[in-house]
Each structure stands twice: as structure tokens, then as C-alpha cells.
Amino acid sequence: MRISTSEFQRQAVQAMQDNQARLAKTKLQVATGRRILTPSDDPAGARRILDLQQTIQQQRQYQRNGDAALDRLSLEESALEGVTTALQRVKELAVKAGGGGLAAADRAAIATEVSEVLAEVLALANTRDAGGDYLFAGYRVDTAPFESSNAGGTTAFSYGGDDSGRRIQVGPSLRVLSADSGQSVFVDVPTQAGGTRDLLSTVQTLVDALQGAASGTLDEAGYRSQLAASQDDLDLALEHVLTVRASVGARLSQVEDQQAMAAEFELYAKDSLSALEDLDYAEATGRLQLQLTILQASQQAFASVQGLSLFHYL
């Protein structure tokens, strides 16, 4: 079957265009370093690439969340360390206050120092994070969790936060408590009497006993009784704070372990993505040269057909 000159020209043009398109695609692959430029190049591979990209973004989000959780937990640990130190100092002062031979002025001086330590504990209970949120306020982050008031010479403390702890998603199935509520740390503190009481009031009770003994409004027997009760309650308060600190430490380890796993999984996903997406430069360069040669040949063939057609017209 003979092919007309016009049909041969059409086929030559089509071949030349196809070769140009393949060459342009290979050039783009080399320029971008990507094997798959459009989903049609490899539909299954393109879907897998999308899945891996989403996985990588998700793992990065978990790590960012983990960083935020670590910051808050570390801040809580630091605050509770300060509270621990303060309570230990108050215990030392309570022992000193129980010593014999103390004058009223001595007890008044101890009361002043305990009051100063109590102010430190109050400040720690109202710790703010880097964003200005109150750490121990639960979800009421704009509200100072603890305030003191004095009515009729009696100092009292109130809690303005809620009893919810803020949780952060740091893994596919792990939401970690990033900070304990002030309710659980400072309010629901056990006492030797078996009812709970806020930690600040426990320390204030010692201050009241010392001031009462110093001013003479509290007799020696009453003073000794309140002092002994305060010492027992301080022991329980310190034990409570140490228990919370242990929980914080466990959560810090948990988040760090989760971040390590997220980083490892991200690395695996990146390797898998590279295997699917990255171009084999050696193969692509060889293909580029071959396609360039084929294109040049098709251009020469087209030129020959054009010359033959012109000869027939002449």
C-alpha cells in the first residue's frame, strides 16, 4: 500500500511533535529531579507519594505539639521544684518554731520569714508560660488561678481556675496532659485530719499560729497543738507535690519517647518518598541523549519529505 506524500508529511510531523514532547518531559524531570511530574505518569506511585507527604506533615505536627508539651511540662517541673524547696524551708522553720526558749520576737520573726516563703509559693502557683497563659489555671488561661484576701485579719486563698488539665496530641493515639490544674496540685491536698485543704492555707495556718503566739492571743498549749498539726500537714503537702512532680517526669519521658518515634517514622517516610519520587539521573541523562538523537533524525526526515515535495512541484 502506497502512502501519499501528504500523509507521509503528516506522520513525520506527528512523530516530530511526539519526540519533542518526550524530550521536553525528560528535560523537566532532569531540571526538577522528580520522576513523576503528573499523576498520569504513575497513578499508583502518585497516590503513594501523596500518602507519604501527608504522613510526613502529620509527624512534623506531632513533633511541634511535642515541643509545646515539653516546654509546658518543663516549666511545671521547674515551678514544682521551687514549691518543693519552699515547703522544705517552711518545714525547717516549723521545727525551729517548736524549739524551747523562743521569745515572742523570735516567733514573730519566724512568722515573717514563713510569710515571705508563702508569697513565693503563691507566685509559683500563678506561673505563666511563654505565651502569657497561666500554667495552673486549667483552660481559664487568662485568669490568675490563685488570689489572697484578708478580711478581719484572716488571710484566705481562692482558686479561680478550673479542674481541667490541658492535653496536647503528641502522637496518633497519645494525648498528654501538658500541665496539671491548680486544683489538683495546690487545692486538693490531703491533711492529717482526713479532709483536703489548699496548700497555701496550710502554710498560712503556721503563720497564724506563730503570730498568735507572738502577740499572746494564742496560749502555749493551743500554739503547740497548731504547730504539730501544721508540721503533719506540711509533710503531707510535700509528699503530694513530690507525687505530682513524679507524674510530670513520667510525662516528660513519654513525650520524648514519642518524639523520637515520630522522628524515626518521618525519616522512614522520607526514604520511601525519595525512592518513589527521585529521578535516576544516569538513566534520565542517557534517555535525554537518545531522545535528542531521535528528534534530530525525525527533523531530518521531515526536511527530506519537504524537499521531495518541492521537487515534485518543480
Q: What's the CA gap between 146 and 199, in Å, rounded?
A: 11
Q: Residue 284 has what pLDDT? A: 66
Per-residue pLDDT of the chain (314 residues; tens, 9 = 90+): 455 556 666 766 676 777 777 767 777 777 777 777 777 778 888 888 889 999 999 999 999 999 999 999 999 999 999 999 999 999 999 999 998 889 999 999 999 999 999 999 999 999 999 999 999 999 999 999 999 998 888 899 999 999 988 899 999 989 999 999 999 999 999 998 887 899 999 999 999 999 999 999 999 999 999 999 999 999 999 999 999 999 999 999 999 999 999 999 999 998 888 788 767 667 767 766 777 777 777 777 667 666 555 444 44
Q: Residue 314 has what pLDDT? A: 43
Q: Residue 2 has what pLDDT? A: 52
Nearest CA-CA partner of 158 in 183, 131, 121: 183
Q: What's the CA gap between 66 and 258, in Å, rounded?
A: 8
SS3 74: helix
Q: What's the CA gap between 148 and 225, in Å, rounded?
A: 25
| 34 φ, ψ (degrees, to nearest 5) | -110, 135
CB-based burial label for 186 (10 Å; 0-12, 13-18, 19+): buried
Q: Residue 38 has what pLDDT? A: 76
Q: Do 207 and 114 form a contact (C-beta atoms < 8 A)? A: yes
Q: Residue 274 has what pLDDT? A: 79
192 secondary structure, DSSP code: T
Check the CA dihedral 70-73-75-77 and report its sign. negative
Give me the helix-helix angle, 5-32 and 281-313, nearest 10°.
160
- B/e letters for 116-132, b = 16+ CB within 10 Å, e = fewer, are ebbeebbebbbbebeee
Q: What's the CA gap between 237 and 287, in Å, rounded?
A: 76
Q: What's the CA gap between 202 and 125, in Å, rounded?
A: 14
pTM attached to this predicted model: 0.78
